[in-house]
Structure 1
Amino acid sequence: MKIIKKLPALIVMICPSVWAGMQPMDESEMSLTYGQAIFEVTDQVVSQPEGADLSMLRLTIGARIEINANVEELSLGRYWRPEGTNCTGGAGGDKVCYNNVLPVSYNDNINWACTAKPCGSVGLADENYKSSALTHDTDGEKSFFDFPGGYQPDGGVDIKLRDVTMGQVRDKGNGQYELLPFIQENPYFEFAFDETSGARKLVGFRIGSEESFGYQGNIIDVISGFIRPNITANVQVPVLGGLGTIKLEAFLGGVRTIGWLDTKTLDLYSVDGIASALITGPDALLNQSPHAQLFPVQSNYLEHSKAFFFSVGTRSIQWSSVQGFSPDVTSPGFWINMGGDGGLIAKTQEGDHPNNYFPGHPKNAIYGGNTNYGNIANLPSWSQTYNNN
């Protein structure tokens, strides 16, 4: 007890400068001080291509999230949108609408118009809903409706995804299975405010992370967003087999669309093998693949991507940059951003929906036979915190 009573006096004797030096710090001294905290708040003004500049308030959480989860259905933004006009892109020249020539009657609904006609690409002829025999290993063209999980096109919602998976289940053999997570580093929430009226008016919100890593799969019935995957397709022709490889990056997004190739937004990087005689440029690729493209791309690999987020807004918004990456402008309504920084990888030839269901789960009967592709050694795994070995 005597030692304990004398301990405070001993501390003062050893560290007199600590006790004597506690004084308030001014702003300049604070600005030169660094520390580590779980939360980081940034407040900045971001210029906009259209309309007034917006004030962006972002809360970043210094955390690593490792998640393995399945979501039956994700539907966001069920409300009326006018159909887009001036459809001058994609196969046939009528599949992608740029909304730069719209009826006067649309008034302030112009920015809310769909970018596929009809809205949500629902009601087109059946041949539009087939996978390309050139870039998908399905023994020729295959109807979307015949894929595992089926197809439910919906023109009345901004985003409709089914059987959403984050991570994978790996069969290790001998009845043992391993969960592989989908990883997000430093998640954030960001709010966009319009201050032109003298008060802060909330016009947009988004949620994302500074880095996403791992497999994310879903059945894509309809989507609103900026979707730009890097695709490596092994060209397959019935009887003849493999003819070579195509590497491209394509913008497949828009408002309520199922994704169409368009020479205006297509980067064809390389074609090798016999396929080079068949695919001589973007126009030739489009002629060989005139179908909607997003639905068959059910397995997405995010390779340390900075470009994965969901947003909702009452106007078009240029969001702030994240780790040096500045995303494309989001459109009004609900929006998903995947790609644009080179981190969204799709191998359509091996693009089965990721299997993230244990034996006995109803969806295991649908996806259990799929091969989860990728080099296992490079896949994310649970941190040592969860390792029981």
Structure 2
Amino acid sequence: MIKTIVTTLALVASASGYAMKMMDEAALSDTYGQAIFEVNDQSVTQADGSSLDMLRLTIGARIEINANIDELSLGRYWRPEGTNCTGGAGGDKICYNNVVPVSYNDNINWACTAKPCGSVGLAESNYKSSALTHETAGLSFFDYPGGFQPDGGVDIKLRDLTMGQIRDKGNGVYEMLPFVQENPYFEFAFDESSGVRKLVGFRLGAEESFGYQGNIIDVVSGFIRPSIVAEPKLGGVIPVGEIKLDAFLGGVRTIGWLDANNLNLYSVSGLASILVTDPDSLVNESKEAQLFPVQSNYIEHSKAFFFSVGTRSIQWSSVQGFSPEVTQPGFWINLGGDDSLKATTQQGQHPNNYFPSHPKFQLYGGNTNYGNVNTLPSWSQTYTSN
């Protein structure tokens, strides 16, 4: 049998008139086929001028997820509190750590960006939805469905995490709508400056993500930059205009504070323009933490959704032409920065992803599931029953 196969291959090669030869690296990188894995190895320049070697394994697949996770906690370890808290409402909510005590020694890079770390332990008045940006103005985070459990001892804590949503079609029929990720990847960052190849970071993401993703955000470390449309209402009833902005609500162990130095105020219409004329006035009218009430996130074909963990700050390689923000030491989530994260504050309640028989359906079942069903992702034909 082996002789027959070899003879046949020889005849085919002879008949075709072509000779087989080895392909060099350049030719291989320009070749596409049916392989499910793609391996990319490149050097990426860091902010300090050094380089890290990035090894990325991309899986050519479409992942459709409909899942609920009770709690996701990542990175429980000690971080020294930061100093020089100069950002956010009151000027003391966000620390940039550009003045860190020398006594921190090897912990300098791990210093927290809020004091107290994680914004935990502040007066309860800091944990209320803003009268300017939320329809349920003045509602304590602790009184939202699912409650609020701030935790300054962990990098990321998300509860009732949902991927996708369930839509009531009437007559007892419910439709599952997935959260979709195209071409997921694993990437490793190596430092070779000492002559030894040392692993300093890892991230998990996808070249494209889209759909609804909801969660209770107790504390987060990461780059979170949503595009926000706020529709303030006088007394929670009378519309007074519209505010459009992009805001950086991330950091290390934070619950998200507006900072006039890190937001783009695009437009203010109606009577709201009397109160909000610039970023400083917006922060003055919205002094409370902003991240928790934005529980319903629509991710619109994002190239910037990933989790990472590292021992140093890392500039990761670009994905489909998009270069993400630098991640910091510890566990980190990147969500936004490419105008794909949409947060409409009046639709900030947790999206419903539970069937009526589930214990949490009563907790979130009264909420509206948002978006035009014709524009939301649906299951592939592979998964339909007909």
TM tier, smaller: over 0.9
**1:28 to 1:289, Cα distance in 2 relative to 1, 3 A:** closer
Give the residue type in structure 2 aligned to 1:72: D
Q: SS at 1:199's partner residue?
A: coil
Match of 2:90 among 80, 89, 92: 92
Determine whether 1:137 maps to 2:135: yes
With normalisation by structure 2, the TM-score equals 0.95
Q: Percent identity?
A: 73
1:262 aligns with 2:259: yes
Structure 2: give runs of 5+ residues left out of the alignment.
Answer: 1-5
Alignment match, 1:252: 249
Partner of residue 59, structure 1: 57
Aligned residue number for residue 102 of structure 1: 100
The one-letter amino acid of 2:21's match is: P
CA distance in 2, matches of 1:132, 1:114: 25
Q: Are 2:217 and 1:220 equivalent residues in the alignment? A: yes
- 1:144-183 → structure 2 map (5 Å cutoff): 144-183=141-180
One-letter amino acid matched to 1:47: T
* 1:299 counterpart = 2:293: no
State how far apart, in whole Å, the 2-side matches of 1:41 and 1:255 are: 31
For residues 135 and 287 of structure 1, what CA distance do their matches in structure 2 show?
Answer: 12
Shift of 1:170: 0.4
Aligned equivalent of 1:41: 39
Moved over 3 A (4+): 8-16, 28-33
Helix, strand or coil: the match of 1:130?
coil
Report the alpha carbon displacement of residue 360 of structure 1 after superposing the two structures with TM: 1.1
Letter in 2 for 1:212: S
Judged with a 3 Å threshold, the aligned counterparts in structure 2 of structure 1 residues 94 and 387 are, in CA distance, closer, same or farther, namely same
SS in 1 for 2:109: helix
Distance 1:240 1:348, change over 3 A: closer
Q: Deviations over 1:168-208 (max 9, x none)?
A: 00000000001000000000000000011222100000000
- Counterparts of 2:350 and 2:96 in 1: how far apart (Å)? 31
Q: 1:32 to 1:98 in 2, by over 3 A?
A: closer
> Aligned partners of 1:224, 1:242: CA distance in 2, in Å?
34
Change in CA separation of 1:327 and 1:32 when aligned onto 2, cut-off 3 Å: closer
| SS of aligned partner of 2:232 | strand
Displacement of 1:34 in angstroms is: 2.1
Task: Report the Cα distance in structure 1 between the residues aligned to 2:41 and 2:348, rounded to whole angstroms.
Answer: 40
Verify the 8 A CA contact 1:52 1:194 in the aligned structure 2.
no
CA RMSD of aligned residues (A): 2.1
SS in structure 2 of the partner of residue 134 of structure 1: coil
In the alignment, which of 181, 192, 196 is matched to residue 184 of structure 1? 181
Equivalent in the alignment of 1:242: 239
Contact 1:352–1:372 under 8 Å retained in 2: no
Q: Distance in 1 between matches of 2:200 and 2:25?
A: 34
Offset from partner CA, 1:363-387 (integer Å, 9 cap, x none) = 1010001001111110000011112
CA distance in 1, matches of 2:322, 2:231: 30
Q: Deviations over 1:332-384 (max 9, x none)?
A: 00000000000000001111101000001011010001001111110000011
Are the equivalent residues in 2 in contact too, given 1:159–1:222 (CA < 8 A)?
yes
Letter in 2 for 1:63: A
Alignment partner of 1:370 is 2:367: yes
Distance 1:11 1:337 in 2: 51
5+ long unaligned stretches in structure 1 = 1-7
Q: Structure 1 residue 113 and structure 2 residue 105: aligned?
A: no
For 1:212-254, what per-residue CA distance to the aligned partner results, in whole angstroms no more than 9, with x for missing partners?
A: 0000100000000000000001111216611011000000000
Structure-1 separation of matches of 2:220 and 2:274: 34
Q: Distance in 1 between matches of 2:375 and 2:172?
A: 23
- How much does 1:108 deviate? 2.2
* Corresponding residue of 1:317: 314
